[in-house]
Structure 1
Amino acid sequence: MMKNLIEAINMDKNNISLRAIVLTAVGNVFSAGHNLKELQRSSGIENHKLIFNTATELMRSIIESPVPVIAKVNGFAAAAGCQLVATCDVIVCSDNSRFSTPGANFGIFCSTPGIALARSIPKSKAMYMLLTGEPISAREAYEYGLVTKVVSAEQLDTEINKIIENIKYKSRSVVALGKQFYYRQVDQSLLQAYKLGEEIMVNNINTNDGQEGIRSFVEKQKASWTHE
């Protein structure tokens, strides 16, 4: 499944008609994480390494995708499934969704899911989830900052479509530039981030779509993006 997701995310990333990617699932489980049967000692350490390396590549594919990756969650997301959610750019969930990192309950601390949590929510909230394994509700996930929006299950498709429509009317190249910069600056010092930001802003302004956006604003006309 992880390899299929990586392939799907990377497949059309150079296609300018692709404006967003939505990750979702059928049924009331978004993702329960890794198959613990595959993590038994009998499957071998090399296989274990491959599983976690593939998971890392999946998270990397989401972050490096030039278009926003949106998680549409309608149900339960646990362990690596919660990691997957936390890695997405925008997360919309139904009000019956729940999130947990219960690995310690089974003798396997959710170390890699904790990486994504630590970059999404406050330390005390992340540690609570990691140490207790207790699931949090959709409302709690919103209050923690883990998800972007909570809607009813009936409104989920409508909300996702609304976000996609909003993104569609922007320059793909500008969105890609902004997303790339966001993830580059996160781990830098404040001053380093600002210096990089200066460079990015100048580059952005001097792209075709940067100039087109300025022209359309000044002339009060609709922008005609070239996505360059």
Structure 2
Amino acid sequence: MQQRFKWSVHMTEQTQELVHKYSENGITTLTLNQPEKKNSLSMAMLEALSEELAIIASDSETRVVVLAAHGNVFCAGHDLREVREQFDSHEFQLALFNQCSKVMQQIVNLPRPVIARVAGVATAAGCQLVASCDLAVAADTARFATPGVNIGLFCSTPMVALSRNVSRKHAMEMLLTGEMIGAVKAERIGLVNQIVDEQHLDEMVYKLARTIADKSGHTLKIGKEAFYRQLEMPLEDAYEYTSKVMADNMMANDAQEGICAFLEKRKPEWQDS
């Protein structure tokens, strides 16, 4: 498929582009851009991604985010060479994993839906990145793993996102064996929403993104926040909380416009309020 991304650039001290950003029609695409390092989540990459997510959080024009990557590896997890250079520094290791955890939470807390566009391999923190996104579309050649156990470093932080996406037994199987799973199994256990032939990956991802971007941005924000908050609540508390959310939502301009438009058989005109 013809390359259609235009880029704004996040610059590191070495002036290398780490994260490309392109926005069009309410869809912002963030693309990891260190294919020579397998798009690993170095401290610099995490900081660049965090910065872009913070900008998007206050960008009223963005309704949907697509998270993509250049190269044949979506993300190989942390940069193990960087980690090795800091073996003697517990302070750095803690800062690295805290920064990674911050980025994952930024994705979950972002008031915009995030779709992972997965081509190639997503391992360790890269698999965590996919699991942290609200939706994921994968090429049929994509593969996933949490292989930390193979090198003596259990994937404890990836476990947080993984265990909130798939069943306990499937999560434990991935974490304990460290073995790679294919796209078909990833879809079956709920790690990704759908798989497509790689040549149709962009078509499917952006079809999904456009469908979501056509909705009220205000409503999407309310719904995403409520979804994640109610997940951790007991049943009774979840219903009490979401009943209030719906009542508050009903007072919004977009809810009232949407209901009127439906009854009047016309397309709604969103005000995002």
TM-score grouping bracket, smaller chain normalisation: over 0.9
C-alpha distance in 1, partners of 2:186/2:138? 9
1:32 aligned to 2:76? yes
Structure 1 vs Structure 2 CA RMSD:
1.0
Output one character per residue of 1:53-80: Cα deviation in whole Å (capped at 9) or x when no partner.
Answer: 0001101110111111110000000000
More helix by share: 1
Give the alignment's TM-score, normalised by structure 1: 0.98
Counterpart of 1:182? 227
- Classify the secondary structure of the residue corresponding to 2:107: helix
CA contact (8 A) 2:66 2:209 kept: no
Give runs of aligned pairs for residues 5-44 of structure 1, distance below 5 A.
5-40=49-84, 42-44=87-89
Match of 2:131 among 65, 86, 110: 86
With normalisation by structure 2, the TM-score equals 0.82
Aligned twin of 1:65: 110
Rounded Cα–Cα distance in structure 2 between residues aligned with 1:132 and 1:34:
19
Q: Which has the higher contact order (CA 8 A, sep 6+)?
A: 1
Partner SS for 1:27: coil
Identity among equivalent positions (%) equals: 43
**Residues 1:140 and 2:185 aligned together:** yes
1:99 aligned onto 2:144: yes
Select 2:157's aligned residue among 106, 112, 115.
Answer: 112
Could you say which structure has the higher strand fraction?
2
* Alignment correspondent of 2:243: 198
User: Partners of 1:6 and 1:144 in 2: how far apart?
Assistant: 28
CA distance in 1, matches of 2:60, 2:201: 26
Distance 1:62 1:151 in 2: 24
Question: Quick check: 2:145–2:181 contact (8 Å CA) kept in 1?
Answer: yes
Secondary structure, aligned partner of 2:57: coil
Post-superposition shift, 1:43? 4.5
1:151-190 maps to which residues of 2 (within 5 A)? Answer: 151-190=196-235
C-alpha separation in 2, matches of 1:126 and 1:215: 44
Instruction: Report the Cα offset of residue 95 of structure 1.
Output: 0.3
Give the letter aligned to residue 134 of structure 1: E
- Asked if 2 retains the 8 angstrom alpha-carbon contact of 1:13 and 1:67, the reply is yes
Equivalent residue number for residue 218 of structure 1: 263
State yes or no: 1:125 paired with 2:170: yes
With 31-40 and 210-219 compared, the bigger mean Cα shift is at: 31-40
Conserved? CA contact 2:121–2:143, under 8 Å: yes
CA distance in 2 between counterparts of 1:107 and 1:39 reads 14
Structure 1 unpaired stretches of 5+: none
Question: SS where residue 42 of structure 1 aligns?
Answer: coil
